[in-house]
């Protein structure tokens, strides 16, 4: 009893001291700003320097604790709910060019009113798009559902210029991008987020797949950066007994510890489950995969997850602003914290480090299997993903494939349905001819490393003495653009096929093409389960 009282007294004293220091620094900051406002040689940019000060404070904590002013509240709501008022299309925009419709979403206003991939938007409500920034163009397309935006459009195939009024709607990006049967008995759901009611949607899709004869289930969380923790808990509850511990959140006081358990009856506690994860699987994805792993309810396959074990809450602040603040760390049922980086203990230079493997601890699953903490969820079955060449990254990230698909859409009214569509040898030759005209960095990884090495040798004054050897190596590494593209044909075609399928048959078709070439998933289906 006495020890508890001493502990409480110590905590109270610490809290009082912290409050005093906060008040002291608030006074100092206020006096500095007042002095600058009265004495500084130029007019003080109050809004800019105060926002910079707030951001600098929060940068000392973790990347997920951020201030959101009133004017950015809509962006926050879009991030949390994946909804906004608009036309439902991805656009392509360079500052000196008009807006290009890149990808309308199935059933969206853009789709309903006939906007197609490659259509050129000349004006938005009478305002020319040439010269607008991409964000400004996008913002002009957005608006309150039920309102009308008028586009002056140059149609991609006819070249006709038309005025097309489009009534905005509430656009929702679905968290479940695809649900289907991969083979006779394996059901598959691609989950890309955790927004409101996604667990209910997954329940419906799962039940549909069972009616189609599903005997084994794959939940794909690769690239899923997380979202609402409650939805993660609700998804776990579909497959484990009611009352099961899913996650424990621990803040900075003993009173902040909270356990989250399943509150509903499951729909299936027996079906074999594979959960696919990778380095892009974070937060709520790690709650789901970690809980199902700890309960021995699923076999986790793929690569180690991101390692974000921090819980954020949205708190109101003055003048209708909000702050997304990290309030706790979460722990899986076995007691593991999956947080990979310790932001609370920074190095002298301000950097943070990953928890080394040597400091990780062992935990046990419900069935007694060993699992470890220290950063992310380690899969039960590690499956490497395909490592693409530097050229492929250049073609994708540099927009070459994207531009080709738009050009293709200008010349072709349609393509075969997705199950029958394949990019032919003749089609690839067409792509080669297009790519040869584009400016992009087509160096191989070896050539890029050589160029860097040569620069370092020049800095050290050694390049001249090694000129003969360097010239021979450079010649050996040089490769004609066309030859290099042809060499990587098998790597390039899947990306083109996916983009074309998406443009002509929408997002679900693109996912179906992606699955056609998903070697990591194919390997997972061949592996034994726990």
Residue 466: the pLDDT is: 86
Residue 112: the pLDDT is: 95
270 closest CA partner among 301, 244, 240: 240
Share above pLDDT 90 across residues of the chain, in percent, rounded to a whole number? 62
User: What is the sign, positive or negative, of the torsion defined by CA atoms of 62, 65, 71, 72?
Assistant: positive
| Residue range 116-159, pLDDT digits in tens | 988 999 999 999 999 899 889 999 999 999 999 999 999 988 88
Distance CA 428, CA 421 (A): 14
All domains of the chain in start order, with CATH: 81-172 (2.30.42.10), 217-382 (3.90.226.10), 390-444+479-526 (no CATH)
Compute the residue count for the chain: 530
Q: Is the pTM of this model over 0.85?
A: yes
- Quick one: pLDDT band at residue 12, thresholds 50, 70, 90? low
- Quick one: pLDDT band at residue 488, thresholds 50, 70, 90? very high
More confident residue, 35 or 300: 300
CA distances 497 to 293, 329, 501, Å, are 35, 42, 6
Phi, psi of 159 (to 5 degrees): 80, 0
- Quick one: pLDDT band at residue 348, thresholds 50, 70, 90? low
Q: Which of 73-77, 158-162, 202-206 shows the lowest per-residue confidence on average (mean pLDDT)? A: 73-77
pLDDT at 223 over 90: yes
pLDDT at 355 over 80: no
Q: What is the 3-state secondary structure (H, E, C) of 236-293?
A: HCCCCCCCCEEEEEECCCHHHCEEEECCCCCCCCCCCEEEEECCCCCCHHHHHHHHHH
Average pLDDT, the chain: 90
Residue 375: the pLDDT is: 84
| Residue range 430-457, pLDDT digits in tens | 999 999 999 988 888 888 888 888 898 8
The distance from CA 120 to its chain's CA centroid, rounded to whole angstroms, is 28
CA distances 515 to 73, 113, 280, 423, 511, Å, are 36, 30, 18, 16, 6
More confident residue, 84 or 200: 200
- Quick one: pLDDT band at residue 458, thresholds 50, 70, 90? confident
Residue 165: the pLDDT is: 96
pLDDT at 350 over 70: no
Collapsed DSSP state (helix, strand, coil) of residue 105? coil
pLDDT at 10 over 80: no
> Which sequence positions are flagged as catalytic?
283, 294, 308
Average pLDDT over residues 522-529: 95
pLDDT at 73 over 90: no
User: What tokens appear for 168 in the block?
Assistant: 């905005």
CA dihedral (364, 370, 375, 376) in degrees, to 10, reads -90
232 closest CA partner among 187, 264, 197, 180: 197
Residue 392: the pLDDT is: 94
Collapsed DSSP state (helix, strand, coil) of residue 353? coil
CA angle 390, 394, 399 (to 5 degrees): 160
Average pLDDT over residues 60-77: 85
Distance CA 66, CA 121 (A): 35
User: What tokens appear for 343 in the block?
Assistant: 């932001």
Average pLDDT over residues 313-335: 92
Residue 4: the pLDDT is: 52
- Quick one: pLDDT band at residue 194, thresholds 50, 70, 90? very high
Distance CA 528, CA 368 (A): 19
Average pLDDT over residues 354-371: 87
| Residue range 156-179, pLDDT digits in tens | 888 899 999 999 999 988 999 999
Residue 516: the pLDDT is: 96
| Residue range 92-110, pLDDT digits in tens | 887 788 999 988 999 999 9
For every residue of 416-476, DSSP letters joined together read: --TTT----HHHHHHHHHHHHTS------HHHHHHHHHHHHHHHTT-TGGGHHHHHHHHHH
Q: Which residues make Cβ contacts (< 8 Å) with residue 155, sequence separation at least 6? A: 116, 119, 161, 162
- Quick one: pLDDT band at residue 14, thresholds 50, 70, 90? low
Residue 276: the pLDDT is: 98
Residue 21: the pLDDT is: 84
């Amino acid at each position: 009893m006495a020890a508890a009282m001493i502990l409480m007294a110590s905590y109270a004293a610490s809290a009082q001291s912290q409050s005093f220091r906060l008040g002291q620094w608030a006074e100092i900051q206020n006096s500095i700003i007042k002095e600058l406002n009265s004495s500084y040689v130029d007019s003080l940019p109050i809004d800019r320097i105060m926002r910079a000060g707030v951001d600098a404070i929060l940068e000392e904590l973790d990347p997920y604790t951020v201030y959101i002013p009133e004017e950015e509240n809509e962006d926050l709501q879009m991030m949390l709910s994946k909804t906004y008022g608009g036309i439902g299309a991805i656009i392509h925009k360079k500052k000196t060019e008009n807006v290009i419709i890149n990808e309308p979403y199935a059933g969206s206003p853009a789709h309903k009113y006939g906007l197609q991939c490659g259509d050129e938007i000349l004006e938005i409500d009478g305002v020319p798009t040439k010269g607008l920034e991409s964000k400004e163009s996008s913002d002009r397309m957005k608006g309150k559902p039920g309102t009308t935006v008028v586009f002056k459009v140059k149609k991609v195939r006819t070249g006709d210029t038309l005025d097309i009024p489009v009534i905005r709607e509430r656009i929702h990006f679905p968290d479940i991008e695809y649900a289907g049967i991969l083979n006779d008995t394996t059901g598959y759901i691609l989950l890309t987020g955790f927004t409101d009611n996604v667990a209910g949607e997954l329940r419906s899709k799962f039940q549909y797949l069972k009616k189609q004869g599903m005997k084994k289930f794959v939940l794909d969380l690769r690239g899923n950066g997380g979202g609402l923790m409650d939805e993660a808990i609700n998804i776990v509850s579909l497959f484990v007994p009611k009352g099961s511990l899913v996650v424990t959140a621990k803040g900075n006081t003993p009173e902040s510890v909270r356990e989250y358990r399943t509150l509903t009856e499951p729909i299936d506690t027996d079906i074999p489950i594979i959960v696919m994860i990778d380095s892009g699987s974070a937060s709520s994805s790690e709650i789901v995969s970690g809980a199902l792993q700890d309960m021995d309810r699923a076999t986790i396959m793929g690569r180690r997850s991101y390692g974000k074990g921090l819980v954020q809450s949205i708190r109101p602040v003055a003048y209708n602003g909000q702050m997304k603040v990290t309030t706790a760390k979460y722990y899986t049922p076995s007691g593991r914290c999956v947080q990979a980086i310790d932001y609370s203990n920074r190095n002298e230079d301000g950097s943070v480090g990953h928890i080394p493997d040597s400091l990780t601890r062992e935990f046990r699953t419900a069935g007694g299997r060993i699992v470890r903490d220290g950063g992310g969820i380690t899969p039960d079955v590690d499956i490497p993903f395909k490592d693409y060449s530097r050229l492929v990254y250049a073609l994708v990230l540099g927009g070459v494939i994207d531009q080709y698909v738009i050009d293709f859409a200008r010349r072709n009214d349609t393509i075969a349905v997705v199950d029958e569509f394949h990019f032919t040898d003749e089609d690839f030759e067409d792509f080669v001819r297009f790519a040869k005209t584009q400016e992009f960095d087509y160096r191989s990884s070896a050539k890029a490393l050589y160029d860097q090495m040569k620069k370092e040798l020049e800095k050290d004054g050694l390049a001249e003495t090694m000129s003969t050897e360097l010239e021979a190596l450079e010649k050996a590494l040089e490769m004609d653009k066309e030859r290099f593209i042809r060499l990587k044909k098998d790597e390039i075609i899947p990306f083109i096929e996916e983009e074309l399928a998406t443009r002509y048959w929408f997002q679900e078709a693109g996912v179906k093409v992606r699955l056609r070439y998903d070697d990591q998933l194919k390997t997972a289906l061949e592996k034994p389960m726990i």
